[in-house]
Amino acid sequence: MSYHTITYRVAGGVATVTLNRPRANNAVSIPLAQELTDACSVINRDETIRVVIITGAGKVFSVGTDLPLKRGTSSASPRLPQAANAISRLHNPVIAAINGDAIGQGLELALAADIRIAAETAHLGLPQVTSGLIPWDGGTQRLPRLVGRARALEMLLTGEVVTAAEAYCMGLVNQVVPPEELLSVVASLAQKIAASAPLALRYAKEAIRQGIDLTLEQGLRLETDLYLLLQTTADRTEGITAFLEKRQPRFKGK
């Protein structure tokens, strides 16, 4: 598929998806949501991909939603441009490189990633209530799971926008770096993750993603089941062999 609102490239086992509407502050439109969803499907079918990076073109990550509202009406199009669930369903680890402001639905896309690294200049928030709306792409569910119920409610009910440093203090982002260093820091992290066994990465992500909604006992059983499954893989055998031979493992995702 040819993309117009995003760019997509794969190199060294890392897929990079860039929101590419810089003149519109990379606001999420229906075409962008559709293309992002399609790209996520492509990534899940590509066994050579081990890590995914999502970032924005220009000076912002993504600000707001581009809804086709008509003058004189108070209702939005019934087709909401939702894409965060597609990001959350990616099998591989996902890093959001927040190169600038992530506001409204832009932050909801970042919340669907597994790791968030922000530029020092970025601002983050879900101010939809100030426009008479609430987040509709997972923000009300993913934000409290990251920062806790009380802090999430404060942000959502006030429409507060926080700095990258404040986001780091509350656990909303994993790292804050100078803007000029963001892509190199993210690329280095992606390569470090990609060097590990693909199935182990996938199962580790699955254990946390599913386990967070289970009881501790259920989560421990899930962890054990996934661990035992990994014992039967060729990658596990390769890991043991490489250790004994004192060399770097050559994982194949099998």
**Per-residue pLDDT reduced to its tens digit, 29-64:** 999 999 999 999 999 999 899 999 999 999 999 999
Neighbours of 240 (CB within 10 A): 11
Among 34, 38, 18, residue whose Cα is nearest residue 26: 18
The CA–CA distances, whole Å, from 182 to 12, 178, 187, 192, 210 equal 19, 6, 9, 15, 30
Q: Residue count of the chain, please give it.
A: 254
* Domains of the chain and CATH, by start: 6-194 (3.90.226.10), 198-244 (1.10.12)
Residue 136 token pair: 């509709």
**Per-residue pLDDT reduced to its tens digit, 4-36:** 999 999 999 999 999 999 999 999 999 999 999
Residue 250 token pair: 């050559």
Neighbours of 2 (CB within 10 A): 4
Residue 200 token pair: 């182990």
How far apart are the two ends of the chain, measured CA to CA in Å? 28
Exposed e or buried b per residue across 202-232, where buried means at least 16 C-beta atoms within 10 angstroms of its C-beta: bbbbebeeebeeeeeeebeebbeebeeebee
**3-state secondary structure (DSSP) of residue 134:** coil
Residue 69 token pair: 């509202």
E strand spans, the chain: 6-11, 14-19, 51-56, 62-63, 94-98, 102-103, 115-119, 123-125, 161-163, 175-177
Spell out the per-residue pLDDT of the chain, length 254, in tens: 689 999 999 999 999 999 999 999 999 999 999 999 999 999 999 989 999 999 999 999 999 998 766 544 444 445 778 999 999 999 999 999 999 999 999 999 999 999 999 999 999 999 999 999 999 999 999 999 999 999 999 999 999 999 999 999 999 999 999 999 999 999 999 999 998 888 888 889 989 888 888 889 998 888 888 888 877 876 676 566 655 556 566 666 66
**pTM exceeding the 0.85 threshold for the entire prediction:** yes
